Amino acid sequence: YGKDRQRMNLEQYRAIHAIAPRWMQIAMELAVVTLQGRHEVIHLKYSDETDGALYITRQKTKKNEWAHLRIPVTPEIRDIISRSRDDVVSPFVVHRTPTRRVRAGGREHWTQLMANNFTEQFRTLRDQTGLFNDMPKEQRPTFHEIRSLGSWLYEKAGYSQGYVQALMAHSDEKMTAYYQAGHEQKWMTVAAELSLKSILYK
């Protein structure tokens, strides 16, 4: 992840979202509201929702380090998940019908999006907006920048830094208290209450 990468602003987010197919819109909305990354967004399953909450195991940057988040399903998140359901039966919230049903290595279901292909699709949509034409390709914001944009939007909306930090599963000494060895997993309850309407519609 290059340090020269530019941040994504709200206008750019809206422009990409406006031309994106529905499955990418769902991915973008989940990312900006829950502050989860590409890996978590494309692996999220309908079955990850239990008792009114999403249970997300966040894959962190350090080897073998994981954060286990329990995000209560707000009306906002409920709406995103509802809109993700279409005539394609898939276990994945973010899914699509590929042009060809090819059994890719590591794919659990034919509707599943693979990370590299997902990234490529996002880059194509980003560049189609024309907003980044004057920017070198290596500096153009990636899907990852949606987390950063979302965290800024949460702070701007008056949510505390601690609230945002917990949702992003950023490391901190206290975080280790929420890890538990053995068979029983301890989940950390975090909230994801950003209003999507304020982002998508002026």
Q: What is the per-residue pLDDT for 60? A: 65
Bridge pairing between strands 49-50 and 53-59: antiparallel
> Any idea which residue has 């538990």 for tokens?
180
CA distances 18 to 27, 61, 188, Å, are 13, 31, 34
To 10 degrees, what angle do helices 22-34 and 10-19 make?
Answer: 150
DSSP state of 56: E
Q: What is the per-residue pLDDT for 174? A: 41
Please say whether the beta carbons of 129 and 14 come within 8 A.
no
What is the four-CA torsion angle of 67, 39, 50, 160, rounded to 10 degrees? 50
Q: Which residues of the chain have pLDDT under 50?
A: 1-2, 173-184
Cα gap 42→122, rounded to integer Å: 13
CA distances 46 to 133, 173, 193, Å, are 37, 32, 19
Q: What is the per-residue pLDDT for 186? A: 60
To 10 degrees, what angle do helices 22-34 and 115-128 make?
Answer: 100
Alpha helices in 35-170 (DSSP H): 38-43, 75-84, 115-128, 145-156, 161-168
Residue 102: how many other CB atoms lie within 10 Å: 8
> Any idea which residue has 């920048």 for tokens?
145
DSSP state of 45: B
Contacts of 108 (CB under 8 A, 6+ apart): 91
Q: What is the per-residue pLDDT for 3? A: 52
DSSP state of 49: E
